[in-house]
């Protein structure tokens, strides 16, 4: 996110404050706080996960009796910074806003009445939107999602971003350069995009404390979940559910609902939840999945059988939102090197999800990545670019993929992208073989030559 661009637009008179969502531990608080202190003379920090800050808000609302003037807001912010004065040189940073729906409902009023700028952040914004007492704001708030470090961003810590941007996509640069990026990629698969894990690796000059850091991230998820779930069975099932989600990463994609697959798998595994009847059990699994997706620990992948864009099915597989967390979880369940393909697929899913989310609305067939099959076999991931009417298969497997080749020959696909950890790389007709770690650089705007029925302006207005 270009915070500087947002700040400039505010200074030019655009009355829009910023709402930042994203998974816990992705660096939201650190990044926003750093920007605030570097860019403003006055910084007010409010953390609504702190009961004392909630108490101050409740006390203030009782005193103001809903007389929400600029002077009243100034009084409230002064309770966190005594010398606060409303000014464009001041910024208010509100963390974990989902813990205080009442303040969220005031954002529209604050935006119009205050000169100061405001950024709010939350690790579970869905909790706000599901609250019947909350009115979702559209025009006065720009909402973005802050994700963990992407592989290109990760490379910046090792001064390799320039190499990533300049190396040839199809294997025509020096072999040693690909080997250097490949080694960094293998490291990224293990560390992932959590800034705290990367900092620990750099400070320790190795993996000392790695398990402790990853366990700490899991503990944060579990602690937050314990505040959300009231049922003891939900709390007991959550950790077991994460382990089962990891095991399902190793299984082939099917057309069955991912929630149903998880529920059935958990029942068959060694979890001791026999005290629940089937309906209560399934409801508990649904609540767990809902929470894990709300806080971006997992993300769903859809399914289109036969590469048929008119046959979209609901979410049929879950992937972890961070590849490093997925790697650690695979290690926890005893997965070996032979299961590296599952980790590669999780990386490709995250990359495609990022490509879709950062493109204009409606450019791609769906707003989530897809799997597809053809002729009774998997083709890998499926991406349909409506702007150029091109259908792509992204194949993560080594060797020939007969199903993808047949779909290409039958006109169900326009291009196949073979993304692998080792060569050979190059272009063979409509088959593009590239290093998996360079997938973010691939041009998914290659035109198929077929008629385009895509109206960008119409789709953006929907």
Q: What is the pLDDT of residues 57-96, one digit of tens each?
A: 999 999 887 788 899 999 999 999 999 999 999 999 999 9
Q: What pLDDT does 142 receive?
A: 78
DSSP codes of every residue in 220-272: HHHHHHHHH--SHHHHHHHHHHHHHHHHHHTSPP-SS-HHHHHHHHHHHTT--
pTM of the model: 0.82
Q: What pLDDT does 91 receive?
A: 94
Q: What percent of the chain shows pLDDT beyond 90?
A: 46
- Give the Cα-Cα-Cα angle 240, 124, 119 (nearest 5 degrees): 150
> Which tokens in the block code for residue 414?
């326009």
Q: What pLDDT does 458 receive?
A: 39
Q: What pLDDT does 330 receive?
A: 92
Q: Average pLDDT of 329-357?
A: 89
Q: What pLDDT does 232 receive?
A: 56
pLDDT at 451 over 80: no
pLDDT bin (cut points 50, 70, 90) of residue 192 is very high
pLDDT at 432 over 90: yes
* Helix, coil or strand: residue 152: helix
Average pLDDT, the chain: 86
Q: What pLDDT does 401 receive?
A: 83
Q: What is the pLDDT of residues 127-178, one digit of tens each?
A: 777 778 887 776 677 777 777 889 999 999 999 999 999 999 999 999 999 9
What the chain holds in terms of domains, given with CATH numbers, is 3-145 (3.40.50.300), 151-210 (no CATH), 211-441 (no CATH)
pLDDT at 126 over 80: no
């Amino acid at each position: 996110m270009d915070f500087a661009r947002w700040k400039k637009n505010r200074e030019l008179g655009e009355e829009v404050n910023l709402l930042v969502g994203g998974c816990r531990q992705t660096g939201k608080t650190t990044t926003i706080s750093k920007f605030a202190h570097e860019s403003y003379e006055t910084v007010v920090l409010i953390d609504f996960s702190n009961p004392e800050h909630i108490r101050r808000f409740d006390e203030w609302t009782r005193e103001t009796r809903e007389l929400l003037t600029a002077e009243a807001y100034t009084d409230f912010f002064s309770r966190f910074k005594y010398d606060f004065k409303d000014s464009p040189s001041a910024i208010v940073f509100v963390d974990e806003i989902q813990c205080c729906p009442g303040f969220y409902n005031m954002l529209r009023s604050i935006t119009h009445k205050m000169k100061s700028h405001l950024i709010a952040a939350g690790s579970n914004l869905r909790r706000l939107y599901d609250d019947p007492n909350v009115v979702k704001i559209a025009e006065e708030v720009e909402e973005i999602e802050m994700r963990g470090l992407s592989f290109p961003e990760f490379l910046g810590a090792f001064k390799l971003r320039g190499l990533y941007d300049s190396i040839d996509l199809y294997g025509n640069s020096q072999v040693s350069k690909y080997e250097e990026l490949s080694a960094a990629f293998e490291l990224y698969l293990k560390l992932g995009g959590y800034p705290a894990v990367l900092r620990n690796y750099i400070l320790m000059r190795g993996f000392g404390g790695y398990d402790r850091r990853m366990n700490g991230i899991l503990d944060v998820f579990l602690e937050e979940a314990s505040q959300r779930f009231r049922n003891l069975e939900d709390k007991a099932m959550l950790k077991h559910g994460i382990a089962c989600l990891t095991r399902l990463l190793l299984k082939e994609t099917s057309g069955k609902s991912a929630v149903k697959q998880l529920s059935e798998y958990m029942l068959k595994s060694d979890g001791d939840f026999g005290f629940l009847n089937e309906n209560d059990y399934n409801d508990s699994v649904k609540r767990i999945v809902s929470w894990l997706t709300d806080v971006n620990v997992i993300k769903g992948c859809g399914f289109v059988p036969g590469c048929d864009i008119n046959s979209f099915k609901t979410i049929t597989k879950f992937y972890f939102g961070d590849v490093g967390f997925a790697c650690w979880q695979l290690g926890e369940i005893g997965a070996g090197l032979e299961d590296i393909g599952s980790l590669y697929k999780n990386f490709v899913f995250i990359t495609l999800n990022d490509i879709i989310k950062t493109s204009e609305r409606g450019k791609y067939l769906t707003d989530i990545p897809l799997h597809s099959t053809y002729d009774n076999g998997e083709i890998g991931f499926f991406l349909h670019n409506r702007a150029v009417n091109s259908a792509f298969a992204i194949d993560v497997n080594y060797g020939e993929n007969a199903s993808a080749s047949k779909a290409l020959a039958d006109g169900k696909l326009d291009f196949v992208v073979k993304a692998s950890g080792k060569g050979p790389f190059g272009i063979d007709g409509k088959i593009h073989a590239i290093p998996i770690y360079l997938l973010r650089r691939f041009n998914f705007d290659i035109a198929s030559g077929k008629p385009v029925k895509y109206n960008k302006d119409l789709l953006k207005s929907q």
